[in-house]
Amino acid sequence: MSRLHIRSAQPGDVALILGFIRELAEYEKLSDQVVADPAQMTEHLFGPRPFAEVLIGEVEGEAAGFALFFHNYSTFLGKPGIHLEDLYVRPSARGTGLGSALLSKLASLVIERGCGRLEWSVLDWNEPAIGFYQRLGAEPLDGWTAYRLIGPALNELSQKTI
């Protein structure tokens, strides 16, 4: 097994994080949707009010993957949770255990921070990821459909008055 190391991202990692995001988007066939820029990412990850955190996964001292996550809150549990927004391991590092190590570190953060759950979404067609998650013991949330407001629809809703 390769030597793995998981560390918290630092401001100097922003270009690396954006690179991982672009690689993930290419894999997911969503490259046209990546509009994040370094200044914005730096502010949102390391500014006075961070909105998300990032773990960097290294294999033999080389950055090879990342996990970007943020806290949410479960009203039913009455506890915070962690939502994993992105998990990506470069193809050359797949099979090294890095993906499992990143998720293991996230699971330990859930416990350390007194959270009630770790959640994420996966594209329906991504069978390798689905199989990986199921091997870890994760279960799909049957009966739930994700919704999203962006662009004009979000702007229009924000302008509605009561």
What pLDDT is attached to residue 162?
73
- Catalytic (active-site) positions: 133
SS3 content of the chain, % helix, strand, coil (to 5): 40, 25, 35
What are the chain's domains? 4-158 (3.40.630.30)
Coil vs helix vs strand at 33: helix
Percent of the chain with pLDDT over 90: 94
What pLDDT is attached to residue 99?
96
Tens-place pLDDT, residues 98-153: 999 999 999 999 999 999 999 999 999 999 999 999 999 999 999 988 888 999 99
The identity of residue 39, as a single letter, is A
Rounded distance between C-alpha atoms, residue 95 and residue 59, angstroms:
11
